[in-house]
Amino acid sequence: MKKISFLLLFFIGFQTFAQQAMSASEIADFKKKVNAASATIKTMTTDFVQYKHMDFLAKDVETSGKMAFKEPNSLAWQYKKPYNYSIVFKSGKIFINDEGKKSQMDAKSNKTFSKINKLIVGSVSGQMFDDKEFAISYYKSAGFDIARFVPKDASLKKYIKQVELSFDKKEGTVEQVRLLESETDYTKIVFKNKILNAKVDDSAFSN
């Protein structure tokens, strides 16, 4: 047990150590790469796995499904496992289908929700470096380029302490999103089987 904890500590320590702050020129290069990549993104479909991590739990709570994005700001999240739930952000509205039960609401009427919406769309498309709502810092690890967003707005900060986006070093597209709620608890979303700029039918955004 001692050995394991030591190894874990070492691993965690190593991980932290392995995330180095980018230099000013690296930041400029990174932004350029991501902006160039996101400028070419018209559509995106991907599978995702979401892990809700809380320190007191034995296992992360894992849910998974598909995501579709289409310019300028249509976004559909579809959870398929272990239950069916989809949420579509489209033309300032939010459409929800909860195992067949449908509802909708106005995203604009809810300020916090519209900020979260902007954040989600931004994190998927990578276009959020000019966002005035966040203080942004940049890091690099062996596998990823990492951008950390800390909300400036107090009401948003209550819900999200920090958002961490991990980008593919070559492609400049988002591979992982991590929303931190406290020092130990976070939600991590990992994208898999990403397809860029294939034709995405409008029906993908109706639930």
Partner 1 sequence: MQKLTIPLLAISFLLAVGCAPRPKPSAFPQTATVVNPYFSDKSQDYTYRTKIAVYGHELNGILIAKKISDSVHRVVLTTDFGNTLLDFEIGQQSFRKNAIVDDLDRKIIVNTLRDDFRLLFRETYAIPELDGHTGDLEVFAVEGRDHYQISFSGNKLISISKGSRKKEKVSVGFVSTNDKFADTIEIHHRDIKLNIEMRHFAP
Interface contacts to partner 1, rule CB under 8 A: 50, 52, 54, 56-63, 77, 79, 82-83, 85, 87, 98, 103, 155, 158-160, 179, 181, 185, 187
Cβ of residue 159: shortest distance to partner 1, in angstroms? 6
Dmax (CA) of the chain: 55
**Separation in Å, CA 133 to CA 68, 77, 112, 153:** 25, 23, 12, 7
**Separation in Å, CA 156 to CA 2, 85, 94, 130, 146:** 40, 24, 19, 18, 21
**Separation in Å, CA 25 to CA 37, 138, 177:** 18, 11, 24
Nearer Cβ to partner 1 (11/159): 159
Please tell me the distance from the alpha carbon of residue 120 to that of residue 107, in angstroms, as a whole number.
13
Cβ of residue 178: shortest distance to partner 1, in angstroms? 10
Cβ of residue 160: shortest distance to partner 1, in angstroms? 7
Nearer Cβ to partner 1 (152/158): 158
Cβ of residue 124: shortest distance to partner 1, in angstroms? 13
Cβ of residue 119: shortest distance to partner 1, in angstroms? 11
Place of tokens 């996101």: 38
Using alpha carbons, select from 166, 170, 199 the residue that is nearest to residue 19: 166
Nearer Cβ to partner 1 (16/103): 103
Nearer Cβ to partner 1 (22/180): 180
Nearer Cβ to partner 1 (71/185): 185
Phi then psi dihedrals of residue 191, to 5 deg: -90, 140
148 touches 136 (CB < 8 A)? yes
Nearer Cβ to partner 1 (32/158): 158
Cβ of residue 156: shortest distance to partner 1, in angstroms? 11
